Amino acid sequence: MVVAKIEGVVIKTFKISGFYSRVSGRDLPVLDLLKNTLSNVQELKAINSSTILEPLSQIMLPSLQRFEIGSY
Total number of domains constituting the chain = 1
15-25, pLDDT tens digit by residue? 999 887 777 76
3-class state of residue 31 by DSSP? helix
First-to-final CA distance of the chain: 25
Domain range for 33 is 2-70
pLDDT digits (tens, 9 = 90+) for 43-72: 999 999 888 888 899 999 999 999 999 987
Question: In terms of Cα–Cα distance, which of 14, 3, 8 is closest to 61?
Answer: 14
Query: Does the predicted TM-score (pTM) go above 0.75?
Result: yes
The pLDDT, as a whole number, for residue 37 is 87
